[in-house]
Structure 1
Amino acid sequence: MKNLKLCIFNRYKNLKIKYKLIIIISTIMVVCLSFIILGFQYAFNSYDEQIYRKSSQVLIMSSNRIEDELKNIEEVSYRVLADNKIQQALIEAKKELTNYDQYQIEKEIRDTLTSYIGSEEYIQSIHLFDTNGKEYQAGKITASILYENADHLEQRAREGDGRNVWVSLKDSQNTIFSARQLRSYQNLSLDNLGTLIIEVSLNDIVKELPREWGGQEGRIAISYGEDIFFAEETSIQIDKLNLSVSDRQGYRIQKLAERNYFVTYSNSTYANWTYWNVLPFETMFAKVTTIKFLVIFLFFVILLSSIYFFIRFSKRITDPIENLVSAMKVVQNGDFKAVDTFRLTEEKDEIGILHRNFFVMIERINDLINENYEKQLLIKDTEFKALQSQINPHFLYNTLESINWLAKINKQTQISKMVESLGFLLRNAISLKDDVITVQEEIEMVQHYITIQKFRFEERLDFSLNINENVKGCLIPKLIIQPLVENAINYALEMMMEPCKIKVSAYKEGKDLYLAVEDNGQGMDMAQLEQVRRGEFKTRGNGIGLSNIDSRIKFVFGSKYGLQIDSELNIGTKVLIIIPYQTRWSYV
């Protein structure tokens, strides 16, 4: 896999610019398309959520409306149950009666039931069965399904033990039945007086519900457990719905008869029913789907158009560059005159400027070559005369040795020591072969420098060393301690009349080497210290400045190393050098 990636990268790297541009633009467009698709997907999911919320609200409102009507009808059944005429008539019906008395009871019960029919518009009929099985009816003619399931309805009423029970029959899709057992309130005996059954047109209740989604063909269904006992008339195969739900309300997209439907459901605690709202998915999302495919189509049109125009545009860039590359190859072979045969672009953009500058440069180079050839002899002659006038450093060293020998003969020990120290410093400062020395060698240079300065300042210079043995062999850049000692003398010792203490320390902490030069001079205030740290302080000498040493260290070892300067007015100054501890030089 790694070799494949490397191969693809190498092939891309060697492509021409115009092909690279095409690949880059295509990649950018594809990435943009991916983000657009993800954005659309997020928007569609949000749209689904909004539709669900609206569908859920409509479904909950519909279920509440249905249940409100059913509660009203339940209230009617309770009023029938508590009606004194009904109670008295059913008690009388249990006795031995003449035909006339029986007729009067039946008439009174039917008249009373008829009065309740008109109290709710969705009641189809009311049926009252006494303990002898005799039926008293009011309302429309009832389908035979009620009588076929009369025993089942009476059984459900007995299970309700006086409470209202809603019963849905499998073959009755448009109606629902309220069943309640009638008990005697006389003397609170609660004797069974019969069974009250109210037939309700559930279909008429649903028809009166508010419709959303612009009158689309969505339909409402109601299920109890795994059975759908009511469904509006529709071509949708609602009986194929997946009725298994894990929460009280939600939505899903389900396929019925090769069509996708947006199905919203809500569970009701009133009768433990589940209400369903089924909407055709393609009708709801037709515009959104059209927009999605239209955007993708337009994107590909724009992509192909962009690639075409980028090819045309890239040729205007790459053709002059290729012409320039060919001219460079000719120049590379040393034929400057052949460059004149190449066509110079007339464009005034960056490519045109590059063309003109290149040909101007070639002309200048050609002139410089001719001019340089004519001046070579003069330069050689000048160099020869300059070499003759140079002073051999060895002559200077030999002269200092002669002065030293003469001083020893005349027993001038001070002069001898100064000459020896000066010779050591000159030899090490001028030598170019060793840019890296040990801490011990750098300290020796400092000691020779101090030897010379001691003769000048005598007791005013109090110099001390604190060099750990484990750092003496550590390698450091040449001339980084001596300039700091020189600064301490220039800016601390020279400004004081009393003795000045200058201390040089070297120690190791962790993987780093610390070199410190401290003095007890007059120090600096915060403003002057900040100037020194930023390299803005103007020095009085011509030696190696602190910023120069700091730049050398950072260049060699990195930005985490370098100088740290601390100073307090009338207390003194401390300059700390931090570099990696190493006994073998690994930097170039």
Structure 2
Amino acid sequence: MKGFAQYFSGISIKNKIFSTNILIIIISISTLALFANIVSQKAIIEKAVKNSSRELVLIDNNLQTLITTVEDYSKILATDFRLQNVLYNDFLENSNLSATDHVGGLDNLSMKNTLSEVISNIVEPNTNIKAVSVLTSNHQWVDVGFADNEFASRVFGSNPEAADHSYQPVLTGLMKFKFRYEGDDDVFAVSKTVIHKDTGKTVGMVVLYVKETVIASIYERKMNYKGGNFYILDRDGKIISSQNKASLYRDFNEATSISIPYSTQEENSFFQGNGREKVLVSTHRLEPLQWSIVSVIPIDEITVERKEINQLIIRIGSLCLLLAFIVSYLLSRSITKPIFQLSRTMRDIRTGHLTARSSYQSSDEIGYLNNVFNNLMDRIEELLAENVEEQKTKAEIEFKLLQTQVQPHFLYNTLETIISLIKLNMKAEAITAAKYMADFYKISLSKGNDIISLREEIQLTASYLEIQQLRYVEYMEYSMEIDEEIMSCSISKLTLQPIVENAIYHGLKRKTEKGLLRITGRRLGEEVHIDIYDNGVGIEESQIRRMLMEVSGSKERVSFGVRSVHNRIRMLYGDRYGLEIQSELGAYTKVTIRLPFKPVREV
């Protein structure tokens, strides 16, 4: 968790806003999709259960209608006056004969024609009844159609009074029955005793045959789910109707591996199985036959609609996510763009472009922040300008103070030297010293100009050195080698003199033997380098730092003069210019003055 927090804190604000928005939207869409999936699945399953129950009710109604119709046909046939007359006449003609002595009065052609005419109105193609068999009171099955009378005799016997029919049509279970021209077929049979309406005598029995495929056609038309199956079971759980004819006569549990729990309810629905083998089982009891109508639908077929809904959810979710990406990107960009602009402005200022300002204008919080930043930078720039002006004024004051210190001090020392030379009757040397002093002051005044040419500064420094050599001839000699190319370069007045004075008094004068002071000047690219070298006692590293840096409370005149020259150059030409000092104790000191190459006329 700590690592994630560190990673999250390290990414940009834009990515934080963008990723947070996307994460929230993804979680919201995923939660909504999951909720919609659960709700839709529940609704679809409930719909499937209701549809199955409704289908079973419709099948029940149609099946009962079919059975009632067949029973009605059996009643109509049993009460038909022509059939009753034929069977009654046969009953009368053979009433005195034994069962083995009957003469088969119905074998004559006219009677067969009569029965065929009666039966033809209630069999295919006029109705769903496949065929009809007629049993006379004299134990004779009449051959009047497709039914095989010998097979009927084996199934139903030859005595119409043997079974208790309660004078109502009786529906048998599914059976294999042989037809004369089509072979065996699966049928249901409805039998009805024929009672003579006048005498009340049982004169025969009629049996109507309905094929199982007629029953199956009822629910095949009602199927809403592909892959689903309907079954009709008898009271013992045997399959008596199914789309799969191979499962007929088999136990339902054995054929389908589905066990139907006992229930007192007329309708029942439940799920059985796991995974892809899971199925919805719906049952409906068909009274008064005590049959059961069973619907078995694979869960995959039920959830096909849910898959379509899921695909719709995925498409809508993807579209929403794409829209969220676009909106989040635009939102994060609209928030972070002015921040990045302000950040770029800050980087520009950090690299030295102090005049850079943020151009973003708005009335929102970021716009207010930009205005405050711009106002702050304006104020800082004003303060910097004031500070620069103060530093410039301070440097001017220090430089003027240096000049005021140098000139009277130099004048006093030079006059002392001239007086000494006169006393020693060295008039020529005294005149020379006076001449050098005049040259020094002539150039140092320079009509009030603070910027002079390097040629003039060299002449001023040479006059100073000639006078100093008259005073300290025993321990100092000097040389000057300045390239003519840089003689026209501009330089601040009295730049070399404080450094030369420092070299004499703190370098050469402290040496026990005669020393050398050498001044050289050259051009390097767009810069001018002037080296002032002495082989005096040298300077410590800490002293060098104090010479170039302003130390609070320091009253050393040495560092004051050198530091004033250093600050003056940096103020006039920039921080890349100024003094560089190299020294080794007991060996040497070299001061390098770095100046831009600018002819004096440009100043």
TM tier, smaller: 0.3 to 0.5
Q: TM-score, normalised by structure 1?
A: 0.46
Task: Specify the structure having the higher radius of gyration (Cα).
Answer: 2
- Larger relative contact order (C-alpha < 8 A, sep ≥ 6)? 2
